[in-house]
Structure 1
Amino acid sequence: MTEISNGNEKVEEKNSVSGEFRWYEGLAICLSMIAVQLCSEVINQWGLYFYSPSGGVGRTVYVSIGLVGYIFIIGTFWDAFSSPLVGALSDKTPTRPGRWRIIPIYGRRRPYIFFGSLLMVFTMIGFWFPPTGHTSLLNFIYGTILLCAHWTLFSVAVIPLNALGPEIARSETARVALGTWTAIGMIIGLAMANALPGVLISKLDPSRIESHLSMVLDKSKNSGMSQKEIENWLQSWGLTGDKWEGIVKGEPNSTFNIQGSLFEALQEKSITRTTEDIFHKLGIKEYQKLPRKAFRALQVSTNLNEQDFSEKLRKEVYEYLKIGSSKFINIQKENSGNKIYLHSKLLEGIEEKDLAGEELKDKEIALQGETLSVISSRPFSEEEINGIREKVLSSVLKRHLMVSFSGENQNDVVIFSRALTQVLALAGIQNSLSGTSIVDVIWVAESFSPTGYRRVATVFALISFVLFLLPVIFIRERYDSEAIQSEPLPWGQGLKDALRNKPFMIYAWSFFLFTIGFLAVQRVLPYWAELGLDGDESTITFLLIPFILVAILSYAVIPIVARYLHMKWLMFIALGIIASGMPFLYVIGKLNVDFTVRTVMGMILFGYCGIGQAIIYVMMIPMLGDIIDYDEKFSGERREAVYNGLSAFIWKASMAGSIWLASQSMSLWGNSIERYTGVLLVGPFAGIFGLLGMILISLYPSHWREE
């Protein structure tokens, strides 16, 4: 047993872990780490997607994909520079409350944790309330300001929280034990922050409506008509009675809704018949449907070159849809007659320059989301209105109907966006109504609202605050600033010493590079689930199940391995596991297999990477503690918060780099249904950055204590 002098008091350092920190302190740290993940990863994981979702899936785009990344880059750079200042301020804060400490909380860490977490509740909720419901520069400004405020308060709470670890655990054994407590909280928090929102966003969105078909019967011919007419019509499509539970009586009584699996089956029948009719006119008799869910992809063989085939195909689709275009391009005229509004799902992703033409010449147009307004100097005639509708239809087909030439055996891949697939299916259904008592068909498309995101953010913000309170209540700070008689070092000395700290600089650059790639993958995960796996938000839940289970199981083994293998080589192995796994995001996303197979492969990949993530979470505290011990050897001071602040600077700088990498990859190579290579390429990029981090961490000095 040794004694370490701490001013007027002496702290006994025992070989047992309990001599350094008690189990309830470890549990408080563990639960507070869940709060750290909830209040950071929800924004990290879902913020980019919320403000700029995938193109072609019917969601509101608040900020363009080329600009949205800068919200997060600016926010993280702001916090990156504020984090070391928070650390230095915490280190120099008197432990005993003064008159300016409104709530007299003892310590130099716990007051920051309390006030930072309290104020963070408001910024975490406010971030999900952009001021306008369409693409706007104002949303960019608002999101940037809220995120800067949120990350500043995040540092105020988390930097002092992380500084508690090396302070209450001074031996390597105790640090590995506390690191395990921390890792358990981090992995559970990461799982909750990534898995639960995917399910809860859907469940808590009151405006979310699943797609269905509303059939209107002719009341004059069918007074008190039952659903028999609907069933007979469905049988003409080859659908059988085992799906009739999908027919639901609507309001008014002459309306029936077709939903669920019956609706999906009818949609598939209709789009298949429609595309066969169109292909037949082009002389195409055979084609192969590719296993894609986010859009419809068909592989065809043709003797035409890509451009000629694209033009002929668009012309046939245009002619097929033109007659019934009023069903999916709705036009409203103001009373003055010189302003009209066109509303259509097909306008999503269209730019005003795409609509240039004679029909809109000398007219003022404004496009916001799915609505186009057109103003003329004189009242519109019906002929002009029909001409504008047909012009819009012709223009949107260039966005929603794509042809990709494979170059092998003259094979082309025809891609119909989700919106165009729905329109073609509706047109096919409408054309089949002749001779029935069904007078109208209304396609109620799947709809979304931001309410689900807002409710999830509110719940997570409140839970985070409660969990942040636990270390404030249960952890006893060991350091007493008034009991230590020492000459304080200048404010900038900690930074200068850190830059001369060889272990820290190797650690810093290694994790800076690795984290750029790793966090970039987290940024694109919703896109990858939707475009690479053909899933939705809930798909991420399934991906994280093996990740969590494998990581938790690893915690039983890592402390044992740490007795025989230096932390440097454990980190080397961890980075190697994740770096080797990330490129498979591209491979899985490109495989020509169905949704279930790709999802299972994704789950296997995430389970493999869970081993590496578990090692990193456990060994972070021992490695940072080792770095702080190295600094104390030369400076004579314990500067836990300074080094945690600098670590946060590295993390935030790498976060900004990851956002730039993810957003620019998607901007350059695509994040939409017809071109999503930019999403898939983030995986290989992450592998390269991880490899560079491995090389650097291998240079970490493991024997400095012996020198």
Structure 2
Amino acid sequence: MSVTRRREFTWFEGLAFLLSAIGVQLCSEFIAQWGPYFYSPTEGGARTIYVALGFILPMFVVARLFDAITDPLVGVWSDETRPTPGRLRLIPLFGRRRPFIFWGSILMTFTGIAFWYPPFNRETALNFVYGTVLLCLHLGLFTICVVPLNALGPEVARSKEARVKLGQWTAVGMILGLAIAAVLPGVLLDALDPARRAPVLPGERPAYSAVGYQYVAILFALVSLAVFQFAVWAVKERFDEKPQNGKSATVGTVMRDMYGTLRNSVFRKYIAAFFLFSVGFLAVQRILPNWAEVGLGGDEGTVTKMMLPFIASALLTAFVLAPLLSKWMAMKWQLFLAFLLIILGLPMMYLIAVCDVSASTKALLGSALFFVCGIGQGILYVLYTPLLGEIIDLDEQQTGQRREGAYWGMHGVAFKAGQAASVAVSNLCMSTLGNSVDRPLGILMVGPVSGVIALLGLLVVWTYPILSVTHATTQELLTEEPGMRVGR
């Protein structure tokens, strides 16, 4: 049966992608959003400072750069892996992607928990070393699990319609995972921290401890392990192909495939746009607890309340609006709309924080802002698989090769370099302009600065081409003229 006529993925496999997307968010977003605040909370508060603010930047930048470097390595390694089990495969799993997901998810369970146990209950450089090493290990194992998982998407969904449907499954999982990772900790941290339940005498500050963070980390790590393992056994690698050179990946093949992806002019615009947008959007995400505290007069629970409308609008968009947009608009303009909705909201964070209204009114304005941004995020989550799948099909027309792992790996380089740069943007703002209750300007200016950076990504999207490439048309071209190369 031909690929174009066979059922490309089942609802059960779609469910596996949905659940694995939840796992992706749980084992990444909790650390990304709450990690900097845990190790270096706002000065003048009652929380323990484990690492000085100036060390948070190198801790997360080093880890993200290490993570970005490993992405294409793992992607090409996965592309070049033989699908049939060999002697070195301890668990005889069939496929190029499943062994990576299996082992990566198991090992990063331990690192995802250990990160929240700094060895000293005070500010010291040893905590910085410990946190940096654990973060590098965790993100490296995260790459081993997630890059091959992402590469499965274009393999099991080859048509635009199938990719949009798979994008919906993935989007719902990403949104639900974000809801759990960003919203639930605000509730759990308070409920699971015994220090917060201790009686507070008049004139004393409430007490806080690391226990709440540690319990949440254990819970999220175990749930992530379960859903990744479900994907290993539920998704069938029905489009397995032999390694491109019949051998295991080498430094030469990695460099060849990395260079090959960058020769694709459409992909260059793709990674430039997502890098710039990620820098701006994620810089704001990093300081949400700080912004809620000094800008809105709230705490972690305030973040939870504002994220609820974000999650609701993102889910509604993924279920209803995004599929309709895929029929009415080219993917270029869907991407443009998604970026625009989010970028317009970034400077508003400053205005909401400084406006002369009550704390409850500020919380309502923040919730409305998050609702609009949720629409843009819902569109983005659905677009990832069809956008990159289209680029992979174009590459197959140009080279005759399918390099899902290499492209997802390079996508990871752009996104994670953006994550590293976002930490730099937020920390430079706070270290230069202030990061305290008495000097909050650095926290409040992250929004406007991030908006300018993300706007550059929107300008790149404006130059993005409108493509009409499918796997079926690619196969027809390659069948009619074997070995042909279509453009550059």
1:477 aligns with one of 210, 229, 237: 237
3-state SS, counterpart of residue 30 of structure 2:
helix
Q: What is the alpha-carbon distance in structure 1 between the residues aligned to residue 241 and residue 270 of structure 2? A: 29
**In the alignment, which of 502, 514, 537 is matched to residue 265 of structure 2?**
502
Residue of structure 1 aligned with 2:214, choices 435, 445, 454: 454
In the alignment, is residue 684 of structure 1 matched against residue 444 of structure 2?
A: no
Query: Is 1:667–2:427 an aligned residue pair?
Result: no
Cα offset, 1:696, TM superposition: 0.3
Shift of 1:529: 1.0
Asked if the contact 1:671–1:678 (Cα under 8 Å) also holds between the matched residues in 2, the reply is yes
Q: Judging changes above 3 Å, is the alpha-carbon distance between structure 1 residues 616 and 485 closer, same or farther for their aligned structure 2 residues?
A: closer
Residue number in structure 2 paired with 1:11 = 2
| Shift, 1:152, TM fit | 0.2
Counterpart for residue 98 of structure 1? 86
Structure-2 residue corresponding to 1:464 = 224
- The equivalent position to 1:550 in structure 2, one of 306, 313, 321, is 313
What is the CA-CA distance between 1:481 and the residue it aligns to? Answer: 4.0
TM-score normalized by the length of structure 2: 0.93
Query: In the alignment, what sits opposite 1:229?
Result: none
2:52 aligned with 1:61: no
Q: Determine if contact 1:534/1:595 at 8 Å carries over to the other structure.
A: yes
CA apart distance, 1:604:
0.4
| In structure 1, distance between residues paired with 2:348 and 2:187 | 25
Task: Indicate the residue corresponding to 1:382 in structure 2.
Answer: none
Partner of 1:531 in structure 2?
Answer: 294
Whether the 8 Å contact between 1:209 and 1:448 is mirrored in structure 2 is no
Which amino acid in the other structure matches residue 194 of structure 1?
A: A
C-alpha contact 1:573 1:612 (8 A) present in aligned 2: yes
* Alpha-carbon distance in structure 2 between the residues aligned to 1:73 and 1:486: 35
- What is the match of residue 482 of structure 2? none
CA contact (8 A) 2:16 2:230 kept: yes
**Partners of 2:71 and 2:413 within 8 A in 1:** yes
Find out whether 1:26 has 2:14 as its counterpart.
yes
Say which of 651, 657, 664 aligns to 2:421. 657
Residue 694 of structure 1: how far off its partner (Å):
0.8
CA positional deviation for 1:157: 0.2
Aligned partner letter, 1:564: W
Q: Which residue of 2 aligns with 1:493?
A: 256
Whether 2:391 is the aligned partner of 1:627: answer: yes
Structure 2, unaligned runs of 5 or more? 474-486
Asked which structure has the greater CA Rg, the reply is 1
Correspondence list, 1:118-517, <5 A = 118-209=106-197, 212-213=200-201, 422=203, 443=204, 445-481=205-241, 491=253, 492-517=255-280
Alignment of 1:542-621 (within 5 A): 542-555=305-318, 556-621=320-385
The residue identity in structure 1 corresponding to 2:271 is A
Deviation at 1:486, TM superposition (A): 7.0
Query: Which amino acid letter does the alignment assign opposite residue 346 of structure 2?
Result: M
Contact map agreement 2:80 2:244 (CA 8 A) in 1: no
What is the deviation of 1:480? 3.2
Asked if residue 519 in structure 1 is aligned to residue 282 in structure 2, the reply is yes
Q: What is the distance in 2 between the residues matched to 1:496 and 1:11?
A: 32
Tell me the distance in 2 between the aligned counterparts of 1:530 and 1:210: 21
| Residues 237-287 of structure 1, C-alpha deviations (whole Å, 9 max, x = no match) | xxxxxxxxxxxxxxxxxxxxxxxxxx6xxxxxxxxxxxxxxxxxxxxxxxx
1:464–1:487 distance in 2 versus 1, CA, 3 Å: closer
Q: Aligned letter for 2:233? A: I
CA distance in 2, matches of 1:90, 1:212: 55
8 Å Cα contact 1:576/1:690 also seen in 2: no
1:664 deviates by: 1.2
Residue identity matched to 1:465 = L
CA distance in 2, matches of 1:686, 1:550: 22
- Secondary structure of the residue that 2:113 maps to in structure 1? helix
Rounded Cα–Cα distance in structure 2 between residues aligned with 1:461 and 1:181: 22
Cα distance between partner residues in 1 of 2:284 and 2:467? 34
Q: Provide the rounded CA distance (Å) in 1 between the counterparts of 2:3 and 2:330.
A: 26
Match of 1:541 among 304, 314, 317: 304
Distance 1:508 1:475 in 2: 28
Q: How many residues align?
A: 466
Q: Distance in 1 between matches of 2:179 and 2:173?
A: 10
Work out the CA distance in 2 between the residues paired with 1:30 and 1:146.
Answer: 27
Give the deviation of 1:191 after TM superposition: 1.1
Q: Separation in 2 of the partners of 1:481 and 1:30?
A: 25
3-state SS, counterpart of residue 3 of structure 2 = strand
* Separation in 2, partners of 1:552, 1:79: 29
CA-CA distance at 1:592 after TM superposition: 2.2
Shift of residue 22 of structure 1?
A: 0.6
How far apart are the structure 2 equivalents of 1:558 and 1:446? 45
Deviation at 1:538, TM superposition (A): 1.1
Per-residue CA deviations over 1:496-554 (Å, capped at 9, x if unaligned) read: 21111011000000000000010001100010111111111111110111001111111
| Aligned-partner Cα distance in 2 for 1:485–1:469 | 28
Say which structure is richer in strand.
1
Flag structure 1 segments of 5+ consecutive residues without an equivalent. 1-9, 214-262, 264-421, 423-442
Give the direction of change, closer, same or farther, for the CA distance of 1:595–1:210 in structure 2 (3 Å limit): farther
For 1:117 and 1:576, the matched residues in 2 are separated by 35
Between the aligned partners of 1:503 and 1:70, the Cα distance in structure 2 is 32
Conserved 8 A contact 1:666-1:679: yes
DSSP-derived class of the 2:86 partner? coil
**Amino acid in structure 2 at the alignment position of 1:602:** G
Quick check: 1:578–1:690 contact (8 Å CA) kept in 2? no
Any conservation in 1 of the 2:18–2:169 contact (CA below 8 Å)? yes
- CA–CA separation in structure 2 for the residues paired with 1:562 and 1:690: 23
Q: SS of the residue aligned with 1:510?
A: helix
3-state DSSP of counterpart to 2:2: strand
How far the C-alpha of 1:178 sits from its partner, in A, is 0.5
Give the Cα separation in 2 of the matches to 1:687 and 1:669.
17
